[in-house]
Amino acid sequence: MPKVLVVFAHPAFHRSRVNRALLATAKATAGVTVHDLYETYPDFLIDVRDEQKLLEEHEAVVIQHPFFWYSSPALVKEWLDLVLEYRWAYGEGGDKLRGKILAQAISAGGPEDAYRREGSNFFTVRELLAPYEQTARLCGMGYAEAFAVHGANHIDSAELTGWTQRYGDWLSALRDGSAPLWLAAPH
């Protein structure tokens, strides 16, 4: 059974360079399933049952997307709003995601040193991703250290190759249960 589900979201994939390269790595990594949200739901009409079934079949879920206004593209929010149902993902009897790992792989235009108190974006990436980390906590999931490509609009092809190799390693660690976590899954 594949273990890692990459839920991918990029509203302008034809213009993507970084996520296109990362996605090719995800597709080539053993034990990883790639699911492209904008390709599957260009009209935003999400099939909740299909999505829940996919989640149930995997042990780790990576949401891969470009960082847009310090968050994700809109379809990721719609997906979270609809798919993580009460009594399925959380609340009474809502234990379908319990014990799984949630993670995010983002590309950000801003350089790494912009994402700190002294930098232009003030907040760290982890702070900005807090709603996702807390979503994982509420659903009884662990939350892995994010994979973040910085300076995404100014990466040369040699650097991009390095990022794709590191992404493959990061996905493999998630698959093998050895990825560093920001939040451990409850026992």
Ligand X SMILES: Cc1cc2nc3c(=O)[nH]c(=O)nc-3n(C[C@H](O)[C@H](O)[C@H](O)COP(=O)(O)O)c2cc1C
Q: How far is CA 77 from CA 66, 80, 168, in A?
A: 13, 5, 26
Query: Furthest-apart CA pair in the chain: how many Å?
Result: 50
* Beta-carbon contacts of residue 39 (< 8 Å; ≥ 6 apart): 13
Contacts with ligand X by CB under 6 A: the residue count is 16
Between CA 36 and CA 107 the distance in angstroms is 16
Residue from 3, 63, 66, 101 binding ligand X (CB under 6 A): 66
Q: Which 125-164 positions form the footprint of ligand X (CB under 6 A)? A: 152-153
DSSP-derived letter for residue 1 is: -
Q: Which 11-40 positions form the footprint of ligand X (CB under 6 A)? A: 16-19
Decide whether 108 or 185 has the Cβ nearer to ligand X: 108
* β partners of residue 106: 65, 148
Q: How far is the CB of 51 from ligand X (least distance, A)?
A: 23
Q: How far is the CB of 71 from ligand X (least distance, A)?
A: 7
Residue from 29, 104, 107, 164 binding ligand X (CB under 6 A): 107
What does the binding site for ligand X look like in residue numbers (CB under 6 A)? 10, 16-19, 66-70, 107-110, 152-153
